[in-house]
Amino acid sequence: MSAAPSPDEGLTPAALAAKYGLAVSGARPSLGAYVKQLWGRRHFIIAFSQAKLTAQYSQAKLGQLWQVATPLLNAAVYYFIFGVILHASRGMSKDVYIPFLVTGVFVFTFTQSSVMSGVRAISGNLGLVRALHFPRAALPISFSLQQLQQLLFSLIVMFLVAIGFGNYPGMSWLLIIPILLLQLLFNTGLALIVARAGAKTPDLAQLMPFLLRTWMYASGVMFSISGMLKDRPEWAKLLLQINPAAVYMDLMRFALIDGYGAAQNLPPHVWGIALGWAVVFFVGGFVYFWKAEERYGRG
- Chain residues binding other proteins by CB under 8 A are 1-2, 4-5, 7-8, 12-14, 16-17, 19-27, 40-41, 43-44, 47-48, 51-52, 54-55, 58-59, 125, 127-134, 202, 294-295, 297-299
In whole angstroms, the minimum distance from the beta carbon of 73 to other proteins comes to 22
Toward other proteins, which CB reaches closer, 131 or 171? Answer: 131
Toward other proteins, which CB reaches closer, 137 or 251? Answer: 137
In whole angstroms, the minimum distance from the beta carbon of 25 to other proteins comes to 4
- Assign 246 to helix, strand or coil: helix
In whole angstroms, the minimum distance from the beta carbon of 117 to other proteins comes to 15
Which has the closest alpha carbon to 111: 175, 188, 197? 188
In whole angstroms, the minimum distance from the beta carbon of 188 to other proteins comes to 20
208: Cβ contacts below 8 Å, ≥ 6 apart: 115, 116, 119, 194
Toward other proteins, which CB reaches closer, 26 or 209? Answer: 26
In whole angstroms, the minimum distance from the beta carbon of 282 to other proteins comes to 24
Toward other proteins, which CB reaches closer, 54 or 70? Answer: 54
Toward other proteins, which CB reaches closer, 32 or 299? Answer: 299
Direct distance between the N- and C-terminal alpha carbons of the chain, in angstroms, rounded to an integer: 30
Toward other proteins, which CB reaches closer, 37 or 159? Answer: 37
Distance CA 179, CA 168 (A): 19
In whole angstroms, the minimum distance from the beta carbon of 150 to other proteins comes to 16
Distance CA 299, CA 291 (A): 18
Rg, Å, the chain Cα set: 23
217: Cβ contacts below 8 Å, ≥ 6 apart: none
Assess contact for 161 and 79: CB atoms under 8 A: no
Distance CA 147, CA 125 (A): 17
In whole angstroms, the minimum distance from the beta carbon of 48 to other proteins comes to 7
Q: Give residue 279's region: left, alpha or beta (phi > 0; psi -120 to 50).
A: alpha
Toward other proteins, which CB reaches closer, 44 or 159? Answer: 44
Distance CA 138, CA 202 (A): 19
